[in-house]
């Protein structure tokens, strides 16, 4: 065999490799540095947000703030209790509607095949991306207008519609990942479908179900736009209160807004961290 590797080409390549190394390394270091800067820039908003919310909200925070009802602007000692309670009521009501529906719908998707299931799955996927303001408008048109009143019911409805697609897909994923084989085994043993669903699927997937639902709840608690269209007074929910008070020019109002924001943020972050810890614990357990 002749020496087909032309020596000149070989030498050129070797020289190019050595010559370019310094430049290549330098470019690499600069690029890596920029990426690190980007990562810092990505963390900065959260840090800044936390800093400002805590520093400005802490001033408003007190036991009275949390448990007292709001008072007219000129009277001090008011609090946001109605908003806190209101948010809790609305979300609670929304969960009453959303959790059973999402579980049943998820079981439906999990246990069935065919076009209908595929269509529902697709609509759930699409619905997760619908802006919350549109869901608010929808709730207004469907409930507020015909019933001629705003209220917690309409607000809960809006939040439920918001949470449903997220919960359904999360539930179905959890069931598929964990309970697929168990479900098949149960059915093969001849057990009734409802029994299998209850004892095997739901029980087996429970930790993942809880985690997924926690995240959906955290998201719903922080929503403002749907409430804008369904509630009569900003005192009925924390997020609305922040919006109304925050956009006013009075320092007192803004102070209340920051305080409420701190409470809301604390609660939402707590929920998210709890969900993450639960997820981490689940993944630690050998499957």
Positions in 128-167 near another protein (CB under 8 A): 128-135, 137-138, 141-142, 161, 164, 166
CB 277 within 8 A of CB 262: no
- Determine if 174 is a binding residue for another protein (CB under 8 A): yes
* Greatest alpha-carbon span in the chain: 100
C-beta separation of 165 from 109 below 8 A: no
Residues 232-261 that bind another protein (CB under 8 A): 239, 242-243, 246-247, 254, 257-258, 261
* SS3 category, 79: coil
- Smallest distance, another protein to C-beta of residue 180, A: 6
**CA-CA distance, 126 to 136, in Å (whole number)?**
17
Residue 20 DSSP SS3: helix
Query: Checking phi first, is residue 285 left (phi over 0); if not, alpha (psi -120 to 50) or beta?
Result: beta
Residue number, 79 or 168, with CB nearest to another protein: 168
Task: Choose, by CB under 8 A, the member of 52, 66, 96, 199 that binds another protein.
Answer: 52
Does residue 124 touch another protein according to CB under 8 A? Answer: yes
Considering beta carbons, is residue 72 or 194 the nearer one to another protein? 194
Strand, helix or coil at 192? coil
Q: Which is nearer to another protein, 37 or 77 (CB)?
A: 37
**Residues 87-116 close enough to bind another protein by CB under 8 A:** 100-109, 111-114
Q: What are phi and psi of 222, to 5 degrees?
A: -90, 5
Considering only 62-70, 71-79, 80-88, 127-135, which stretch makes contact with another protein by CB under 8 A? 127-135
Among 87, 156, 183, 259, binds another protein (CB under 8 A): 183
Separation CA 43–CA 53 (nearest Å): 16
194 part of the interface to another protein, by CB under 8 A: yes
Quick check: 80 binds another protein (CB under 8 A)? no
């Amino acid at each position: 065999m002749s020496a087909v590797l032309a020596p000149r080409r070989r030498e050129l390549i070797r020289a190019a490799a050595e010559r370019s190394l310094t430049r290549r390394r330098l470019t690499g270091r600069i690029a890596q540095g920029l990426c690190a800067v980007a990562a810092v820039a990505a963390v900065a908003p959260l840090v800044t947000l936390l800093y400002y919310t805590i520093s400005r909200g802490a001033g408003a925070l007190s036991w009275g703030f949390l448990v007292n009802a709001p008072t007219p602007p000129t009277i001090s000692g008011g609090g946001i209790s109605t908003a806190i309670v209101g948010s809790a009521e609305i979300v609670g009501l929304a969960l009453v509607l959303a959790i059973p529906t999402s579980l049943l719908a998820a079981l439906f998707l999990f246990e069935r095949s065919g076009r209908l299931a595929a269509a529902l799955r697709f609509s759930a996927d699409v619905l997760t991306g619908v802006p919350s303001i549109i869901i608010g408008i929808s709730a207004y048109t469907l409930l507020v207008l015909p019933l001629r009143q705003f209220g917690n019911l309409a607000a809960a409805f809006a939040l439920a519609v918001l949470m449903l697609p997220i919960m359904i897909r999360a539930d179905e994923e959890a069931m598929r990942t964990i309970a697929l084989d168990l479900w098949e085994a149960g059915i093969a043993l001849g057990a009734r479908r409802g029994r299998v669903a209850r004892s095997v699927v739901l029980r087996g997937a429970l930790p993942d179900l809880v985690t997924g639902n926690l995240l959906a709840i955290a998201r719903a608690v922080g929503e403002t736009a749907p409430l804008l269209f369904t509630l009569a007074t900003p005192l009925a929910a924390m997020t609305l209160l922040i919006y109304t008070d925050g956009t006013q020019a009075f320092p007192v109002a803004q102070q209340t807004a920051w305080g409420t924001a701190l409470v809301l943020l604390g609660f939402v972050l707590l929920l998210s961290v709890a969900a993450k810890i639960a997820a981490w614990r689940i993944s630690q357990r050998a499957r």
